Chains A and B, each alone.
Chain A
Amino acid sequence: DAKTTQPNSMESNEEEPVHLPCNHSTISGTDYIHWYRQLPSQGPEYVIHGLTSNVNNRMASLAIAEDRKSSTLILHRATLRDAAVYYCILRSFGGSNYKLTFGKGTLLTVNP
């Protein structure tokens, strides 16, 4: 599986935008970029995913570099509820790649 690299931790203030980076320099052409987050004492929660184009949904935006070797998850206005561990995961299109490979992720702290 292609590897992702994320900062161990980041800090933000409430109601400010947050940009969470992810490097994936060995990404293949069939890899989707997925983001999940895990709030304390809960299971992981799907946030967003994309392949080549930038994506938006009600939770966040995903900006993908033109060469696809990096991506950024954007939370437009952080709230206290956004404090969580954020995981950037690559998942291949096709084949039998059923598992999600979770790394250590980025611990996001949101200050009031």
Chain B
Amino acid sequence: NAGVTQTPKFRVLKTGQSMTLLCAQDMNHEYMYWYRQDPGMGLRLIHYSVGEGTTAKGEVPDGYNVSRLKKQNFLLGLESAAPSQTSVYFCASSYDRGGIGNQPQHFGDGTRLSIL
């Protein structure tokens, strides 16, 4: 049971380059999330999705776009990477329904992204 899988695990980009981070889950979860974690700080929500074809902004959405074309995949895109986007990115999924809010989120192991 793979759970939540993130690719790639590491990446170095130059300022202005674009890239897409892929998150895949095999638990048939409705909800998926993208967070970023910076040194000494907790995770911050970038974007999330409550179902296939829907996305919404989180706390820190600027500079990122997302897509949820298939239920099992959630893509995070950086159109023009900036050094401030150097971070560790975590994807998560959960089985929340109706905003119950008590279902745990399952996380991937992260993508470590450096932007020079």
Residues of A within 8 A of B (CB): 32, 34, 41-46, 49, 51, 87, 91-105
Contact = CB atoms under 8 A, between A and B. Distances in A.
Interface of B: 4, 31, 33, 40-43, 45, 48, 50, 56, 58-59, 90, 92, 96, 98-102, 104-110
B100 A100 contact: no
Main secondary structure of the interface of A (DSSP, over half): loop
Given A43-B90, A43-B110, A44-B90, A100 B101 contact: no
A40 to B, nearest CB: 11
Contacts of B43: 44, 100, 102
B101 A94 contact: yes
A10 B90 CA distance: 26
A92 B40 CA distance: 25
A105 B40 CA distance: 10
A41 B46 CA distance: 20
A105 B41 CA distance: 10
